Structure 1
Amino acid sequence: MAGERQRGGHHLYDGKIPIIAVGLNQLREHGPAGPVFARFGRSGPQTLLEAIGNPRREAADAREQEEDKARAAAYQAELRRAAQEQAAKQAAEREARRPVCTGCGAKFTDARWQAVQPKDWGAAKDSHPQLCDGCKHQAVAAAQERQKPVRGEAAPDDFWEEPQRPVCTECGAAFTDERWKATARRIGWASPAKRPSLCRDCDQRFEADLDRAWGVSHRQEERDQGQDQAVPEQKTTGWLSRLRR
């Protein structure tokens, strides 16, 4: 029976029974495996499997499967492309946020970036979060070098150890070795200098301002007062003592 023609060029024979005919002369000449079977509705003889089957439908199904595979492969390729674009965008945004060393201008490595991230409460913080590893090591080494006592200065048992060279609170200049030694605290005692937070120049300017404010050097007044206290009052005798009474 004739089937229903489909868009792919083949016929659909669902629900139908094929009618096949064969001639004895054809069987004798080509045998049962040859193209000797004629199916009603088709032109030309076919092999038995072709006659009872639907080769054109099978070919159409194979083409449809290939097309489905191609569409699925294209869809997966589109997904991969979109994922790659998203990953590249996120990487660019992350790279834009990467810290830059304030010392040398180099970008932080991933390990250094992770090391300077805020820690949990109570965890130790990085000492130089604005510097890369190389600049941090140099800064730490320089700080340790500054903490070492200078030759010719007081021994460690004479002065308290200073964490770093003092800086004048007035002008911001670093103390010289001489001023640092003069203002250093002795063990058990305060600093011998009157104004240990000032450098030598600022201390002298402070003294000069005091002199101008008093009109006379208060140091001279202190020396005069000290001399007055040091000289005891002399007792007078004789007629001069009687006059004073």
Structure 2
Amino acid sequence: MVATTLQLLDDQGADAPVWRRFGRDGWHTPTAALDNPDGDRLLAVERQAVAAARRARGEAEREESRPACRHCSAPFSDERWEENERAGTTTGCAPAAARPTPRPRPPRRSASAPGGAGPDPASPTGRPLTCGGEFGHPC
């Protein structure tokens, strides 16, 4: 924002240093008062900040879409991800692939089901011992 007085304009003319720009010291000519020498630097800083935010958002989106091993849930490395994309597969990671595949456990028979083993003698209540899924497995 720039300002002047009518008396200064009458005495010195509009092209003289009679203009005051708020936020700066002294009197200025119209072009100097309207010039924005810091504008290019500020614009460059703003553009760099926008580019950095865009890169960070792209990195976060990429990490969010990163596949994980079907066996151990570990996220794939960049090399493994590229290898799987080239091969068109989504196999597990090397340590998980080297482990033997666990056999599925037979279903548990409940005490009330026909052919059940009856009450669990190790349990003080006589009911089967279970964790209720608290420890990450359905028992």
- Give the TM-score category using the shorter length: 0.3 to 0.5
Larger radius of gyration: 1
Q: Which has the higher contact order (CA 8 A, sep 6+)?
A: 2
TM-score for the superposition, normalised by structure 2: 0.46
TM-score for the superposition, normalised by structure 1: 0.28
Higher percent of residues as helix: 1
